[in-house]
Chain A
Amino acid sequence: MQQETTRGLTLIAPPLLYAVALMAGPLLAIVVFSFWTQDYLTIDRTLTLANYREALSDPIYRAILLRSLWISGLVTLITVALAFPVAYFVSFHVDPSKKSLWLFLITIPFWTSYLLRIFLWKVMLGFNGVLNSIFAYINIPLEALGNATGIAWLQEGLSAPLYSASAVVLTLSHAFAPFAILPIFVALEKIDRSLLEAARDLGETAVTTFLRVTLPLAAPGVVAALLIVFIPTVGDYVTPAQVGGPGGLMIANMIQTQFLGLNNAPMGATLAVLAMLVVTVIALATIWLARRLSGVRP
């Protein structure tokens, strides 16, 4: 037994040390660094809260951080809502031997040329872009539709979709769609099908069976999907830089500007630490809330 433990520890040591040296260490370093300040060309190593004071009081930083959370939150809800029916379909309506083929088809776009996929949305959303060409061809009165429904970007007509926060939401929802499907699919696969039959036998309709049995049992997968989309999208750089325009920039763009543009690395570090803190708090709150909700259910 003792020997087994030693062997396990020896095996786990290299990957663990690698993660500690290249992740835990650097994360600690960036926290320390955020308490230093940039003094023209040199770094002032006196510990101070000056960066945090500036980051929290400057309306620009605050607006960008809030916008990142707002955009990611929206993306997360849209992605998970769009993904759930797909995961449900693959789990419940696809022949078991074809399931992995379907998952493969769904995940392929996720692994291919992230940069170019984002750039192609720019092509699709641009003034002479694909979407506008289609709209012009089938003659959809976008402005009138916008005025009738009160949706701001529709009111602006054909030039509106690109370079806005809504373009970022659309593009990110597309980019992260496969990521949301997998955890929901796994949770749905684990559901014992006889429970559903039992519910039907006991007089539930298809709809109430779904709401009272399937959905609660799929909840862990949905929570995992929410987190797995929310966490990386908050820190996304490419999408806002490509399709966001000035009104769609997010925290990663500001961090990048601080590091590589304005040459104020400590401020960039502060913003990174703040973003990480907020994301961690939101993630923990989501897990806590999900546990509470599932605990209350009879």
Chain B
Amino acid sequence: MLRTYVIAFLIFLYAPITLLPVFAFNSGTVIAFPLDGFTLEWFAALRTNRELHSALANSLTVAGTTAVISVLLGLMAARANVRYRFPAKAAAMGLVMIPLVLPEIIVATSLLVVVVQFFGWSLSLVTVVAAHVLICTPFAVAILNASFQSLDPALEEAAIDLGETRASTFRLVTLPLVMPGIIASLLICFTISLDEFIIAFFLTGSDTTLPVYIWSLLRFPKQLPIIMALGTLLVLASILILTLAEWNRRRGIARAGGSDSGGFL
């Protein structure tokens, strides 16, 4: 009985996403049943849409930059957390992790107030990246904590005893062992940033990101089939990225000889 419930739950979980390809290939312009016929028209329309291309380019730039900065900050925090003892460690780690549970509207409005009202700066993709790094870093820390924890400290000690410097030990021993964790967290941060809407909605200037552009299209019924086609491609891309991330995360834990505790968090 429990198994039946869990399967029903999974169907409930996946039901909305499975509708995306259904309507993306449907030739009717209204997003409703019954379906009309098969078409590739909506996918073809994606190729000629200039605004879409620039929004996508913006989003990829933002997500790429966010992922690199978040993972660098995450590496430092996770390494400090696992390897060293220092005063007020719990409080410091807590502060770094808080954005994980802070409602995004709060992050968005508080940064908007600081940037516009206090400093009088103009909004741009830079402000979006700054905010995305804030919310992505905790995810990177969570993944990298696990990577560093499954690392045997004896390996680093051995390298130092054998004459390597601290820097070369990190480069030659530590880094390769946590590399799968680094790749996994890069991919996760990239996905989060690529998909994030509300912060980008508040903090973007004249250059929009992809979710902000999609949001503006949702008001026009005529554009909906094109959004369905775009959504289908986006979901496929995120599933691909996430599978790659998960594969890397597991590879890392297996390489370090740890047992899999399961899940990104």
Chain A residues with a Cβ under 8 A of chain B = 4-5, 7-9, 11-12, 14-16, 18-20, 22-27, 29-30, 33, 43, 82, 85-86, 88-90, 93, 99-100, 103-109, 111-117, 119-121, 123-124, 126, 128-130, 133, 174, 177-178, 182, 185-186, 189, 227-228, 231-232, 234-238, 242, 252, 255-256, 259-260, 265, 268-269, 272, 275-276, 279
Contacts and interface: CB of A to CB of B under 8 A. Distances in A.
A8 B202 contact: no
B33 A130 contact: yes
Interface in B203-246: 211, 214-215, 218, 227, 231, 234-235, 238-239, 242-243, 246
Q: How large is the interface on B (under 10, 10 to 19, 20 to 34, 35 or more residues)?
A: 35 or more
10 contacts: A11-B84, A12-B80, A85-B2, A108-B239, A111-B195, A113-B231, A114-B196, A124-B16, A235-B103, A275-B106
A177 B211 contact: no
Given A104-B263, A113-B17, A236-B103, 12 more contacts: A4-B84, A5-B87, A11-B84, A16-B96, A19-B137, A22-B131, A26-B113, A107-B264, A116-B20, A235-B105, A237-B104, A242-B218
Interface of B: 2-3, 5-6, 9-10, 12-17, 19-20, 23, 30-34, 73-74, 76-77, 79-81, 83-87, 89, 92-93, 95-96, 98-99, 101-107, 109-114, 117-118, 130-131, 133-134, 137, 141, 188, 191-192, 195-198, 202, 211, 214-215, 218, 227, 231, 234-235, 238-239, 242-243, 246, 250, 260-265
Contacts of A174: 12-13, 16
Given A30-B110, A100-B263, A178-B13, A8 B83 contact: yes
**Closest A-B pairs by Cβ, 8 of them:** A235-B103, A8-B84, A8-B86, A26-B110, A128-B32, A120-B16, A11-B80, A100-B262
A99 B262 contact: yes
A232 B103 contact: yes
A177 B11 CA distance: 12
A123 to B, nearest CB: 5
B23 A123 contact: yes
Given A33-B117, A112-B239, A272 B101 contact: no
A268 B202 CA distance: 13
Contacts of A4: 84-86
A111 B238 contact: yes
Contact of B218 (A119, A130, A255, A259): A119
